Chains A and B, each alone.
Chain A
């Protein structure tokens, strides 16, 4: 069986979707939804991703023609462009991963989404990349025990930087949702 045959037979539904609340959209966006909408997520093929860096460099250079990558402001613009690019190309119709969620997504994303909404989708894409990568290592039994011990100890948790703790909680929120979706018996002892 060749790759063409495999692709022709593949399921086009997005395996991962996210519900985005109206607050994730910019107030200035004329098509701002009034209720949550479901957006499909997809892994970005390398052939498409290869363009991301040059697009981000171009965006940063246009904004700051007198600066370069040694400047924090330039880097911030570069990162923002990269994130917007990833969100534009990593979102799709929930029933078809080959169809972008927005027409002209690269132009629409910076206008349609708030900063928080863009970051939320980017984090979802990061999680997708980790969970779907054949190279990501699975946590072992020792790691599970370490994690359980950490989250049972409020003093050790409180010692973590607040931003790290928030990110960990968000990531574990995904873990819990996956466990629930898989039918795990979630007892509170």
Chain B
């Protein structure tokens, strides 16, 4: 979640997103970036959400706590697209309870979709944080490669802009390797020489926090 000084376009910046309702109707709402006061409310709301569902000590990584964070983010980050620019009104006018209504609420995939849309817009409205150095990048690659199966990867906790950048950098490197392998045949005989002459690929940029 960005601090006030990180929001370039201000909280009034909006992006319209569309999504299909459960009855198939496609509707639109706007997503807005949130400030740190909203973050505190969201985290508190997520803790209450998880505690109410039997999680004794909720925190990062707990799936019920994460779901609570999604729901509280969506409740605050989605606004009525017809509301005035200087007085945005919540799209979910019944708040979290409306999103979680057992009859008329949203299912998990729609909640996830709106959460991701808000998070991406949040990132888009924040200035680009500094990137990883080559050493940090390699350390992250190794950390992911050597992580036990089913472990929560560091990747899962990064900001979307950092995740995109990390994947793009690895894909570019793999693509270079595949092209070189193709040039030299498929037996991989020239792999060592190829990688030594690969063009440098820029390191991923973004904020892991």
B34-86 interface (Cβ within 8 A of A) = 53-54, 64, 67, 71, 80-82
Judge whether B100 and A2 touch: CB under 8 Å. no
Q: What total of A-B pairs shows CB separation below 8 Å?
A: 89
Q: Does A10 contact B (CB under 8 A)?
A: yes
Q: How near does chain A come to B91, taking the closest CB pair, in angstroms?
A: 6
Secondary structure class of chain B's binding surface, majority of residues: loop
Q: What residue of chain A has the Cβ atom nearest to residue B80's Cβ?
A: A2
Chain A neighbourhood of B25, CB < 8 A:
6, 10-11
Q: Which residue in B23, B81, B101, B112 is a CB contact (below 8 Å) of A47?
A: B101
Chain A neighbourhood of B82, CB < 8 A:
1
Judge whether A15 and B106 touch: CB under 8 Å. no
Q: How many B residues have CB within 8 A of the partner chain?
A: 38
Interface string of A44-88 (1 = CB under 8 A from B): 111111100010000000000000000000000000000000000
Q: Does B89 contact A (CB under 8 A)?
A: yes
Chain A neighbourhood of B199, CB < 8 A:
none
Cα(A159)–Cα(B23), bound, Å = 39
Q: How many A residues have CB within 8 A of the partner chain?
A: 28
Q: Does B99 contact A (CB under 8 A)?
A: yes
Judge whether B81 and A134 touch: CB under 8 Å. no
Q: A6-B27, A48-B103, A129-B107 are in contact. List 17 more A-B contacts (CB 8 A).
A: A2-B90, A2-B93, A3-B91, A3-B94, A4-B94, A7-B104, A42-B22, A45-B103, A46-B67, A46-B99, A46-B108, A46-B111, A47-B101, A98-B103, A98-B104, A134-B19, A134-B20
